[in-house]
A and B are shown apart, each in its own frame.
Chain A
Amino acid sequence: MTEIAAKPGGEPILAKLQQFAVPIALVALMAVATAVQPSFLSPNNLQDILTQAAPLALVVLGQAFVILVRGLDLSVASLMASVAVLATAFNATSDAMIPVIFAAAIVVSALVGLINGLLVTKRNVSPFLATLAMMIVLQGVRFYYTQGSPSGSLPEGFRFLGAGQILGLPVNVLAFALCFGVLGWLLHKSSFGRKIYITGGNPAAADLVGIRSDRVIIACYMVSSVMAGIAGLFLVGFVGTVDNWVGRGYELDAIVACVIGGVALTGGRGTLWGAAAGALILVLIFNIVIILGLPVQAQLMIKGLIIIIAAALFARAQKA
C-alpha cells in the first residue's frame, strides 16, 4: 500500500488507492484468516461473517453520504437503539405488523435526519455538535420511555430478518445489497449524486452553479438516519433482544469504516463501494482477532492502530 501511496501524481493516485488498496487489504485479510484457520472460507463461516457485517454496513452506507458533504453523524447508534425500542412499543405479535413497524421507523428516522440537517445548514451548527446533541436527546427520551429497562415484544418475523436465510443467503445481507444498489445508483449515477460530490468538494462553488447545497446536505443527513433506523431493526432481529444500547459504538465504527474505505472526512472524496468494503474489513479484523485466540479487547487496540494508519495513508496520497 505504501508503494502506491509513495508514487507521485496526485488525483489518479488517490483513485488508484481507492480502487486497489481496499480490495488488496480485503484479500490479504482473508488470506491471513484462511492461513490461521482453514475453515475460514467455509460457506457457513462466510455466511456468519456477512450476517454480522450487514447491520454495520447499512449504517456505513448512510454515514458515507454525510461524510461526503463534509459532515459527520454521531447520532446513528443512539437512533438505532431508539428505533429498536420504538419497534417493541407496538407490542406486535403478528408478522403482518412488520411493514407498519418499518414504516414508523423510517418516518421517525427521517425526521431525526431532517432536524440534524436543518441544524447543520440553517443554524450553521457544527455537524459534530448537532449530531452529538441529537444522540444525547434520543438517549434521554429512550431511557425515559423505557425507564431503564425496555419491555414489549417483537413479531417472530424479526428473527428471520436479522438472522434468517433465503436460498443460503442471509436475509440482512440481501437487504444490504438492495440498499447498496439503490444508494449506489443515487450516488454514482444520478444527478443528485453529482450534486453531493460538488457540494462536498466545495460548498461555495456548489451554490454558485445553482445547486441548493442546503437541500443536498439535509437529504444526506436524512439518508444517514433512515439507514441507521433500518439497521437498528435488522440488528435487533439479529441480536434477538431489545436493550437500551442496541448498536452501541456503531457511530464510531461507521466513521472508522468510511475512513478505512477511503471516504475523506474533508468531504467530496470516496465511493460507496469503498465505504462498504471498509465495513467488511473492520468485521474481518474483529474475526481474525478471535480466530487468533487473542483477547476480545485486542480488537480495540487493533482498530485504533488501523484507523490511524489508514487515515495517514489516504492523507499522504491526497497531499502527493
Chain B
Amino acid sequence: MAHIESADGASGPAIRPIRRLPLDPSLIIVVLLLAAVVIAGFTLSDRFGTLRNFTNVLEQAAALGFASLGQALVVIVGGIDLSIGAIVTASTVLMATVVELHPALMIPMIFGTLAFGAFIGFINGYVTIKTGVHPLIVTLGTASILNGAVLIFTLQPTGGVPFWFEEFAYGRIGGVMPISGLVMLLSFALAWGFLRYTPTGRAFYAVGGSPEAARLTGIRSNRITLMAYSASGFFAAMAGAYFVSRTGVGDPRVGDPITLASITPVILGGLILGGGKGNILGVLLGVFLISLLSNLLNYMNVSTFIQWVIQGLIIIFAVSIYVHKGKKL
C-alpha cells in the first residue's frame, strides 16, 4: 500500500475532481428525476407512498443494485462489462446444481459462487490488459462463452437449494427491513467509502481518467483494472445468489436482461462511459429511480411496453442534457 500512498500525495491534480463531485450536474439530474417520481407517486397512487411498498421495492431492487454497482466500478476505471448477465446466469446454475447434489455445501457454495464470479471478472480484466482489446469485445466474448457453456449444460431451470436460503431474498429484519436490500445498501456504502477515502479507491478514478498518467504517478493501473473487473464479477455473482434465493433454482436465462439493465442506473447516476468520473451514490439513486418508476407505472397499469419507451427516453434525456467532452465509448 505504501507505494500508492506516496503516489497519492504526488498525484494531487489527477484525483482532485473527486472533491467537486457533489456538484456534478448529472447527480442533480438523478436527484430531480427521483424527486419527480416520488412526488408523482404520492399524488397519483394511494398504495405507492407506504412503508410496506418502499421496503418491497428495496427488496426487489437488490439484483439490479448489485449488478449496477459492479458495472459502475468497471465504468469508473474506463471499461464496460457486458458479461454481467452471463455471470449472473452461470452463478445461479452453478450454485443450485452443486447444492442440490450436496445440500451440506450450501454455505461454502455461497462463497464459492462469489469466488467464481470474481474469477470470471478477473479473466475479463486480465484479457483486456494483456491483449489491449476493447473491453466491450472481451466481455462480449466471455459472455458468449459462458452462456454457451450454461446452455449446453441445461436448457431448463435446474438444481435446488435448502428452503432456508430464501431468507436472503425474502427475510426481513424486525419484520420490516429486507435482508437483501440491506446487503445491497451496505455494499454501496462500502464501495462509496472505499472509493472516497482509500488511496486504492481514489486510484480507480485516476486510472479511469488516464491509465498512462496514473501509471506515471506510481499507481499500478493494471492491478486497479483487475480489481474493478473482479469486483464486477463478484457483485454479478451476488445478484445470482439473490435470484437463487428468490426462485430456489438455477435458471439458464435469468441473467439475460441484467447486462443492459445494469448500465442504465450507472448512466443516470452521472457516471461517464470512458471513466474517471462519477459518484457511486448517484448509481444507487439511479437504481432507486428505475425501481420506483417501474413500481409506480405498474400501479398505474401502464404496460411494460410503454415502460420500455419511457426507460429509453429517460436514458436519452439524462445523457443528452449533460454534454460531456472527450472520451467516449
Contacts and interface: CB of A to CB of B under 8 A. Distances in A.
B230 interface: no
Given A143-B304, A301-B149, A126 B329 contact: yes
B101 to A, nearest CB: 22
B137 A265 contact: yes
Contacts of B133: 308, 311-312, 315
A312 B325 CA distance: 29
Contact of A307 (B140, B324, B329): B140
B137 A129 contact: no
A311 B323 CA distance: 31
Contacts of B267: 129
B312 A140 contact: yes
B316 A303 contact: no
Given A304-B145, A315-B133, A144 B306 contact: yes
B309 A141 contact: yes
Interface in A101-129: 119, 123-129
Contacts, number: 143
A215 interface: no
Interface in B122-141: 127, 131-134, 136-138, 140-141
Q: Is the interface of A mostly helix, strand, loop or mixed?
A: helix
A119 B134 CA distance: 23
A319 B130 CA distance: 12
A137 B324 contact: no
Contact of A132 (B143, B315, B324): B315
A301 B132 contact: no
B247 interface: no
A134 interface: yes
Nearest to B145: A304
A300 B310 CA distance: 32
B313 to A, nearest CB: 6
A239 interface: no
Interface stretch (A168-176, A193-201, A227-235, A291-299): A291-299
B315 to A, nearest CB: 4
A136 B306 CA distance: 10
Interface-centre pick from A124, A142, A148, A266 (highest chain B CB count, 10 A)? A124
Given A300-B151, A301-B148, A123 B315 contact: no
Contacts of A143: 304-305, 308
A224 interface: no
Interface-centre pick from A70, A143, A308 (highest chain B CB count, 10 A)? A308
A166 interface: no
Contacts of B147: 297, 300
B222 interface: no
Contacts of B310: 140
Nearest to A259: B137
Given A259-B137, A265-B137, A312-B133, A125 B309 contact: no
A316 B312 contact: no
A259 B310 CA distance: 32
B319 A125 contact: yes
A255 B315 CA distance: 22
A130 interface: yes
A308 B273 contact: no
A129 B273 contact: yes
Interface in B274-327: 274, 303-313, 315-316, 319-320, 323-325
A252 interface: yes
Interface in B142-159: 142-149, 151-152
Contacts of B142: 304, 308
A265 B131 CA distance: 14
A137 B312 contact: yes
B263 interface: yes
A136 B317 CA distance: 14
A124 B323 contact: yes
B311 to A, nearest CB: 6
A305 interface: yes
A57 interface: no
A311 B131 contact: yes
8 contacts: A123-B320, A252-B140, A265-B136, A301-B149, A304-B143, A304-B148, A312-B133, A315-B133
Given A127-B328, A130-B319, A133-B313, 4 more contacts: A123-B319, A129-B273, A301-B148, A303-B148
A-B CB proximity, top 6 nearest: A300-B148, A140-B308, A304-B144, A301-B148, A140-B309, A137-B312
